[in-house]
């Protein structure tokens, strides 16, 4: 196995967007919360569009609307105005994260200073009877990526609210950047295990209905109370190392709440480990219904693996925990994940124990590219450096699949060129089944389209 | 003054003069909202930034160009694959996007070296592409990188390439409109006059302010070519970089979207004496008048007339089929720029729909002048609407359908208002005669959707109809029309194909 870095300085077709997008994703997961992105209007408008493309829903985020004068002279007064306008017009709003961007970090706006000023001034004078929390979230776009922005924002929300009151029996479950369907699957596992949890974040309600009265909206369901009680939990489980570990570390240091990092519960083995971690943390046994549920999944996988999946070469790109989790699952499915692309310059990826494990145990040619872009993938395909049977990744890579006639399963964020994927889980036993079914269906469609042994399905 | 105050905006007095209702007998002298002012922070406006106005709206539709953003990766990523500006070179311009990926060390120490490396790498990755546009962002503007110098340095070292520099950071203006202006002027300053084109006709135009959304440009260029006119360049949809460098050699600038591209037409008139002619490709009458106008300019009115007659005969019965069924349908006309006035009157005249509201998020007062002058009485006109105002307007006006963007469309969906994508279209193109029928067809499909009919039923309270069974769109729409008249009039539903554009690429003239 080789670990490499992108050799070019610039990016051709990025895998990730920048930090503020990650913070915005966290912000929409919290009830009665509207984030203000402190920067140019595009930093919000396009991220909202990205969410709308992925979920086919609208989410609320505001901008401090940086214009030319403020970019030169400082823009902290724009935050003051934005907070006031937002609070006046959205009486239910209690939480307002102020999310910084590249421009406002470069001009050096003191967001924490403004928040103190607002807390001692505006909030006391005008909103004395109202619960309002302003949170400074520093996410300069020139550091990390949307992945680290997510990590930072989860920590900052937890840090703002977590308090130690009465110890409870709950655990904190930090899901990472997942879909509503994943949250449903995770909550199902928690329920079967009879474990009560603060789920960060409750995004099931993102998939909101169209109601007869026309009064539905999409919003996250994590409450201030949930966030507060993270300080009283018996432990924290972080499913995605790069999307929640900062918060777990904070809770461990501040409140001595033990944490377990990973694994991302993609596939049978990782779901087993997740349940075992729940058992370890709560002392509760894994119940019989989950044995059966696991059996249903294994039954489905057994139908597919040797006949269709064995030795298929796969490339995977996207958020690092997602890519690693999918690669591990692919190996269990007898496939060969030959190329993994991780799209930012986080230096910790190569020290990740899971990547070390690939290094030690994988016997086939496997290449991991850090700080990768999609050109790293496309160039290898075009030059014949890699032959692929399947690509797994998000919609921004769609033309690689289309132009090179390689079947592709859409997984991750954003997925806007397939219908309804956000409501399906990829985690847990249900997620394992769905992923395997979809991989198979994508391969089958490709066989038929190319007339490549399409007749094999006659007797399956 | 007939200013309209939204309940949700009473607490922000700055908003009071941004919305008006056109009252009985009133014209723009008595009702014109303020426009193009700084956005109110925290109001949840729909506006984008000046970077996207330059790069995303006008720059990237240029097809044979590497589009490279100098800044952190988000500006590039977020504006990539969110529009439908196609091209006849397999969509190179939206398949590939390029960024310098500026990091903290570059902010501190400067990133001109990074820019130069990224430029060279990009050309190396696509050796067949010799043209590039580089775009400034907030970050590169604030640290003060000299992008012009870097571009010149590369051009000196690589004589076969040409690079255009667009300095339009996100904060440069109240909205994307600031970026439209900046890139117009930058192009005419840097590039026009640097290539001498091959002139193949006595009648030569630049087609300006046209972005080839779902093929609009190709449909319109087909008409021009059938008239014997050479379309020297298109600014910028499906446009070629070198063609656009030779804009100075056209006899006429034919301008479609005056909001985003009148600046370059005005500059070309001043610098090269090329006249500007504003046209309109939307709607049978405006389009026919436009073709005639261009024809008259060159003495080609016979040819224009022939096209008008052929196309009208072919498509009018289909437009009429929809118009009969769309009569009285209430519409919120909430697009971005020029469609505000291009559509305000003609959708009423030719499709019978009632425009109950119009808005612009980045338009100027001049755009509202044109829009309000053309819309009917009682229409609510809003400048820079914000989320709550949009919702309040829809609740009050109860439109059947709104024409807007993807995300505001989702807001409408929840209110049980059907939405059509006014920026990227549902199933366009919408320009041209056939395109206009496609637009009418899309509106019809939205309004008479059986699922939409079902969405209002509360199964816990309302009676569930067990007798009717399924209903087709026609059953719903034809219940209220004179069906006999429709048949006598030989009206028919749309008969075109799913893709009505690609075949034009193989056409010879």
Q: Mapped to the 3 state alphabet, what secondary structure does A14-76 carry?
A: CCCCCHHHHHHHHHCCECCECEEEECCCHHHHHHHHHHHHHHCCCCCEEECCCCHHHHHHCCH
Over residues A57-111, the pLDDT tens digits come to 999 999 999 998 888 889 999 999 999 999 999 999 999 999 999 999 999 999 9
Over residues A184-212, the pLDDT tens digits come to 999 999 999 999 999 999 999 999 999 99
Q: Is the pLDDT of residue A138 over 60?
A: yes
Q: Which residues pair with B231 in a beta bridge?
A: B205
The two three-digit tokens of residue B133, written as one number: 């546009």
Torsion sign, CA atoms B243, B249, B255, B260: positive
Residues of chain B neighbouring A68 (CB-CB closer than 8 A): 171-173
Task: Kindly write down the DSSP assignment for every residue of B176-191, as one continuous string.
Answer: HHHHHHHHHHHHHHHT
End-to-end CA distance of chain A: 35
φ and ψ of B211, to 5 deg: -115, 15
Element (H, E) at A79: helix A76-89
Residues of chain A neighbouring B98 (CB-CB closer than 8 A): 10-12
CB contact under 8 A, A63 and B103: no
Integer angstrom CA distances of residue A391 from A315, A336, A380, B465: 5, 12, 13, 47
Name the A residues in 348-377 with CB < 8 Å from any B CB. 375
User: Would you identify the CATH topology of the domain A2-11+295-459?
Assistant: Rossmann fold (3.40.50)
Tell whether B299 is covered by a domain.
no
Task: Please provide the CATH number assigned to the domain covering A19-149.
Answer: 3.40.50.1980
Tell whether B207 is covered by a domain.
no
* Residues A50, A73: Cα–Cα separation, whole Å: 31
Residues of chain B neighbouring A142 (CB-CB closer than 8 A): 72, 102-104, 106-107, 139
pLDDT on residue A278: 98
Beta-carbon count within 10 A of B86 CB:
26
Q: Is the pLDDT of residue A131 over 90?
A: yes
Is the CB of residue B389 less than 8 Å from the CB of residue B30? no
Residues whose CB falls within 8 Å of the CB of residue A387, separated by 6 or more in sequence, listed in order: A313
Tell whether B8 is covered by a domain.
no
Nearest by CB to B48, which of A21, A41, A86?
A41
Nearest by CB to B410, which of A47, A57, A86?
A57
* Residues B287, B279: Cα–Cα separation, whole Å: 8
| Arithmetic mean of pLDDT, A137-162 | 98
The domain of B397 spans: 317-488
* Residues B405, B421: Cα–Cα separation, whole Å: 5
Is the CB of residue A411 less than 8 Å from the CB of residue A392? yes
More confident of the two residues B29 and A163: A163
The reply to whether A101 touches chain B by the CB within 8 Å rule is yes
Q: pTM to 2 decimals?
A: 0.97
The two three-digit tokens of residue A310, written as one number: 């064995």
CB contact under 8 A, A41 and B143: no
Tell whether B63 is covered by a domain.
yes
Nearest by CB to B172, which of A68, A79, A84?
A68
Residues of chain B neighbouring A379 (CB-CB closer than 8 A): 125
Using N-to-C axis directions, what is the helix angle for B301-326 and B284-298, rounded to 10°? 170
Residues of chain A neighbouring B399 (CB-CB closer than 8 A): none
pLDDT on residue A217: 86
Segments in chain B below pLDDT 70:
1
Integer angstrom CA distances of residue B385 from B184, B358, B388, B408: 26, 10, 8, 11
pLDDT on residue A216: 83
CB contact under 8 A, A14 and B414: no
Q: Chain B: nearest CA to A344, how far in angstroms?
A: 10
Is the CB of residue B62 less than 8 Å from the CB of residue B36? no
Is the CB of residue B166 less than 8 Å from the CB of residue B160? no
The two three-digit tokens of residue A452, written as one number: 């490549």
Residue of A nearest to B123 (CA): A12
Number of domains, chain B: 2
DSSP letter assigned to residue B45: B
Residues of chain B neighbouring A70 (CB-CB closer than 8 A): 171
* Closest C-alpha to A423, from A174, A177, A184, A150: A184
Tell the residue number behind the tokens 């979207």, with chain if given.
B257
Q: Which residues pair with A197 in a beta bridge?
A: A171
pLDDT band at residue A437, thresholds of 50, 70 and 90? very high
| Arithmetic mean of pLDDT, A131-160 | 98
Nearest by CB to B41, which of A42, A63, A215?
A63
Residues B336 and B484 in one domain: yes
pLDDT on residue B278: 97
Residue A57: is the preceding peptide bond cis (ω within 30°)? no
Over residues B315-353, the pLDDT tens digits come to 999 999 999 999 999 999 999 788 999 999 999 999 999
* Residues A42, A44: Cα–Cα separation, whole Å: 5
Nearest by CB to B44, which of A16, A60, A142?
A60
* Residues A392, B306: Cα–Cα separation, whole Å: 53
pLDDT on residue B279: 97
Residue of B nearest to A77 (CA): B41
Q: Chain B: nearest CA to A447, how far in angstroms?
A: 25
Tell whether B23 is covered by a domain.
no
Residues whose CB falls within 8 Å of the CB of residue A131, separated by 6 or more in sequence, listed in order: A94, A224
Is the CB of residue A58 less than 8 Å from the CB of residue B388? no
Location of each CATH 3.40.50.1980 domain in chain A: 2-11+295-459, 19-149, 171-286
Residues of chain B neighbouring A396 (CB-CB closer than 8 A): 77, 80-81
Residues whose CB falls within 8 Å of the CB of residue A80, separated by 6 or more in sequence, listed in order: A114, A117, A118, A122
pLDDT on residue B338: 87
Helix, strand counts (H, E) of chain A: 18, 15
Tell whether B419 is covered by a domain.
yes
Beta-carbon count within 10 A of A285 CB:
11
Task: Kindly write down the DSSP assignment for every residue of B116-145, as one continuous string.
Answer: HHHHHHHHHH-TT--EEEEEE-HHHHHHT-
The two three-digit tokens of residue A230, written as one number: 């993270």
The ipTM assigned to this model is: 0.96
* Residues B63, B92: Cα–Cα separation, whole Å: 6
pLDDT on residue B164: 98
Name the A residues in 2-31 with CB < 8 Å from any B CB. 8-14, 16-21
Tell whether B495 is covered by a domain.
no
* Residues A169, A151: Cα–Cα separation, whole Å: 25
* Cα dihedral value B257, B263, B266, B267, nearest 10: -140
CB contact under 8 A, B77 and A42: no
CB contact under 8 A, A45 and B46: yes
CB contact under 8 A, B81 and A375: no
Element (H, E) at B475: helix B473-478
Tell the residue number behind the tokens 């041209």, with chain if given.
B432
pLDDT on residue B30: 76
CATH number at residue B150: 3.40.50.1980
Task: Kindly write down the DSSP assignment for every residue of B385-450, as one continuous string.
Answer: -BHHHHHHHHHHH--SEEEE-HHHHHHHHHTT-EEEETTT-SS---SHHHHHHHHHHHHHHHHT-H
Task: Kindly write down the DSSP assignment for every residue of A99-122, as one continuous string.
Answer: EE-HHHHHTT--HHHHHHHHHHTH
User: Would you identify the CATH topology of the domain A171-286?
Assistant: Rossmann fold (3.40.50)
CB contact under 8 A, A81 and B38: no
Which has the minimum average pLDDT: A214-218, A425-429, A449-453, B188-192? A214-218
Tell whether B202 is covered by a domain.
no
The two three-digit tokens of residue B54, written as one number: 């330059």
């Amino acid at each position: 196995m080789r670990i490499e870095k992108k050799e070019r300085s610039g990016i051709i077709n990025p895998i990730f967007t920048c930090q503020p997008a990650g913070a915005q994703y966290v912000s929409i997961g919290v009830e009665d919360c509207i984030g203000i992105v402190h920067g140019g209007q595009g930093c919000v408008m396009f991220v909202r569009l990205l969410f709308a493309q992925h979920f086919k829903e609208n989410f609320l985020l505001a901008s401090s609307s940086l214009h030319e004068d403020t970019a030169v002279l400082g823009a902290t007064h724009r935050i003051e105005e934005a907070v006031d306008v937002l609070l006046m017009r959205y009486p239910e709003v209690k939480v307002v994260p102020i999310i910084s961007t590249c421009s406002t970090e470069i001009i050096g706006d003191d967001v924490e200073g403004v928040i103190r000023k607002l807390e001692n001034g505006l909030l006391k004078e005008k909103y004395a009877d109202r619960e309002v929390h302003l949170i400074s979230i520093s996410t300069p776009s020139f550091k990390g990526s949307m992945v680290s922005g997510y990590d930072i924002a989860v920590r900052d929300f937890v840090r703002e609210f977590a308090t130690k009151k009465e110890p409870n029996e709950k655990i904190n479950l930090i899901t990472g950047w997942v879909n509503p369907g994943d949250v449903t699957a995770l909550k199902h596992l928690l329920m079967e295990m009879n474990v009560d949890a603060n789920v960060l974040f409750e995004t099931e309600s993102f998939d909101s209905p169209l109601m007869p009265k026309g009064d539905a909206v999409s919003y996250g369901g994590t409450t201030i109370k949930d966030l507060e009680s993270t300080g009283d939990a018996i432990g924290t489980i972080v499913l995605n190392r790069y999307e929640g570990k900062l918060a777990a570390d904070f809770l461990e240091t501040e409140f001595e709440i033990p944490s377990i990092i990973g694994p991302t519960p993609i596939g049978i083995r990782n779901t087993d480990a997740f349940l075992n971690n729940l058992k370890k943390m709560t002392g509760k046994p894994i119940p019989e219904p989950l044995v059966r549920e696991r059996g249903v999944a294994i039954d489905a996988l057994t139908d597919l693996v040797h006949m269709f999946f064995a030795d298929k070469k796969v490339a995977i790109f996207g958020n690092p925990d997602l890519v690693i989790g999918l690669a591990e699952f692919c190996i269990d499915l007898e496939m060969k994940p030959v190329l993994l692309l991780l799209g930012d310059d986080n230096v910790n990826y190569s020290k990740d124990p899971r990547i070390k494990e690939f290094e030690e145990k994988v016997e086939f040619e496997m290449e991991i590219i850090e700080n990768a872009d999609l050109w790293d993938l496309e160039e290898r395909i075009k030059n014949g450096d890699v032959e692929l049977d399947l690509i797994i990744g998000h919609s921004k890579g769609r033309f690689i699949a289309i132009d090179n006639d390689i079947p592709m399963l859409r997984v991750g964020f954003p997925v806007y060129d397939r219908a309804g994927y956000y409501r399906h889980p990829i985690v847990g036993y249900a997620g394992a089944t769905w992923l395997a079914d979809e991989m198979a269906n994508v391969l089958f469609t490709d066989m038929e389209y190319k007339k490549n042994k399409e007749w094999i399905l006659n007797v399956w | 003054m007939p200013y309209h105050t939204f309940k949700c905006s009473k607490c922000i007095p700055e908003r009071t003069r941004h919305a008006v209702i056109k009252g009985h007998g009133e014209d723009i002298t008595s009702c014109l909202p303020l426009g193009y002012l700084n956005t109110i922070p925290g109001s949840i406006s729909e506006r984008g930034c000046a970077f996207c106005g330059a790069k995303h709206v006008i720059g990237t539709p240029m097809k044979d160009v590497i589009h490279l953003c100098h800044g952190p990766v988000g500006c590039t990523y977020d504006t990539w694959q969110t529009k439908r500006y196609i091209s006849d070179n397999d969509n190179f311009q939206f398949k590939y996007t390029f960024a310098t990926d500026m990091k903290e060390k570059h902010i501190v120490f400067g990133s001109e070296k990074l820019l130069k490396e990224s430029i060279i790498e990009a050309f190396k990755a696509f050796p067949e592409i010799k043209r590039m546009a580089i775009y400034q962002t907030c970050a590169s503007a604030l640290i003060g990188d000299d992008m012009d110098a870097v571009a010149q340095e590369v051009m000196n070292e690589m004589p076969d390439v040409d690079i255009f520099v667009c300095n339009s950071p996100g904060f440069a203006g109240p909205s994307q409109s600031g970026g439209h202006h900046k890139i117009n002027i930058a192009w005419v300053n840097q590039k026009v006059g640097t290539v001498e084109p091959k002139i193949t006709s006595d009648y030569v135009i630049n087609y300006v302010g046209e972005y080839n959304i779902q093929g609009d440009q190709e449909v319109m260029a087909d008409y021009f070519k059938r008239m014997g006119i050479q379309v020297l360049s298109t600014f910028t949809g499906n446009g070629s970089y070198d063609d656009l460098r030779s804009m100075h050699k056209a006899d006429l600038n034919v301008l479609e979207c005056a909001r985003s591209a009148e600046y370059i037409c005005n500059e070309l008139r001043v610098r090269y004496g090329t006249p500007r002619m504003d046209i309109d490709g939307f709607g049978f009458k405006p389009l026919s008048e436009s073709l005639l106008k261009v024809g008259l300019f060159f003495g080609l009115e016979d040819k224009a007339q022939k096209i008008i007659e052929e196309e009208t005969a072919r498509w009018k019965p289909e437009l009429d089929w929809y118009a009969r069924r769309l009569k009285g349908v209430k519409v919120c006309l909430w697009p971005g720029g020029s469609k505000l006035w291009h559509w305000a009157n003609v959708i009423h005249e030719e499709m019978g729909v009632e425009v109950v509201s119009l808005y612009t998020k980045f338009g100027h007062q001049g755009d509202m002048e044109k829009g309000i002058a053309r819309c009917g009485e009682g229409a609510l006109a809003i400048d820079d609407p914000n989320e709550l105002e949009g919702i309040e307007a829809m609740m009050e006006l109860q439109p059947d359908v709104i024409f807007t963007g993807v995300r505001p469309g989702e807001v409408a969906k929840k209110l049980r208002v059907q939405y059509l994508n006014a920026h990227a279209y549902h199933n366009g193109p919408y320009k041209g005669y056939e395109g206009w029928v496609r637009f009418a067809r899309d509106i019809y499909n939205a309004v008479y959707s059986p699922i939409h009919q079902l969405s209002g039923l509360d199964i816990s309270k309302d009676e569930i109809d067990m007798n009717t069974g399924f209903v087709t769109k026609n059953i719903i729409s034809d219940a209220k029309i004179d069906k006999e008249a429709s048949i006598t009039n030989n009206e028919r539903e749309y008969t075109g194909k799913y893709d009505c554009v690609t075949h034009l690429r193989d056409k010879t003239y």
